[in-house]
Amino acid sequence: MSKIDKLFKEYTKERFLKLNREQFVYIVNLFPAFRVAMSDGIIDQEEWVTVKRLAKILGDEFASDDLGEEKEENLMLIYRSEFRHLIKNLDKWQEKFLAALKDYFSENATSREFVVETMYLFASASDGVSEEENEVIEYLTKQLRLEDIVL
């Protein structure tokens, strides 16, 4: 069983989530961006707008029939709730999410660029990339072995 599968099982069980693996993988891919957004200790208004926008995009894109009649909105609300949970509990999940993501990259190289892009998207959501955000991006880039990704 892959690290992402173990994390999926643990996280969805603890959070009582009805997400499929593909829907969950997007949360994992966005985790570094949340870490960047929280680098200064708070999510400001512009960053929160970005979080909500991503939740809506993912809700529209990945809604499945088992989520009910209002599936897109239900999935958007699930994503928004999980984003909020992860932002509040970064320390609890960071090691597990980063380990799973690093392992996931070995089979899904295209996700590497997405992760770097979203880290910079969140960092620049407010007044440019701050020193704290840049330090976190550098740390995560090194941890996830993303140094070769150039945007």
Q: Which two tokens stand for residue 140?
A: 């995560």
pLDDT in the model for residue 142: 94
pLDDT in the model for residue 97: 96
Phi, psi (rounded to 5 degrees) for 148: -85, -5
pLDDT in the model for residue 40: 80
Quickly list DSSP for 37-98. HTTTSS--HHHHHHHHHHHHHHHHHH--GGG-TTHHHHHHHHHHHHHHHHHHTHHHHHHHHH
pTM: 0.87
pLDDT in the model for residue 130: 87
Question: Does residue 42 lie within any of the structural domains?
Answer: yes
pLDDT in the model for residue 124: 85
Question: Does residue 129 lie within any of the structural domains?
Answer: yes
pLDDT in the model for residue 126: 76
Question: Does residue 149 lie within any of the structural domains?
Answer: no
Distance of alpha carbon 101 from the chain centroid: 10
Asked if 118 contacts 29 with a C-beta cutoff of 8 angstroms, the reply is yes
DSSP state of 128: S
pLDDT in the model for residue 67: 60
pLDDT in the model for residue 65: 63
- Please identify every stretch of the chain with a pLDDT value under 50, giving residue numbers as ranges: none
pLDDT tens digits for 107-146? 888 899 999 999 998 888 877 788 998 999 999 999 999 9
Give me the domain span that covers residue 71.
3-143
| 61 contact partners, CB below 8 Å, separation of at least 6 | none
Length of the chain: 151
Q: Count of domains in the chain?
A: 1
Question: Does residue 148 lie within any of the structural domains?
Answer: no
Question: Does residue 52 lie within any of the structural domains?
Answer: yes
Question: Does residue 23 lie within any of the structural domains?
Answer: yes
Question: Does residue 151 lie within any of the structural domains?
Answer: no
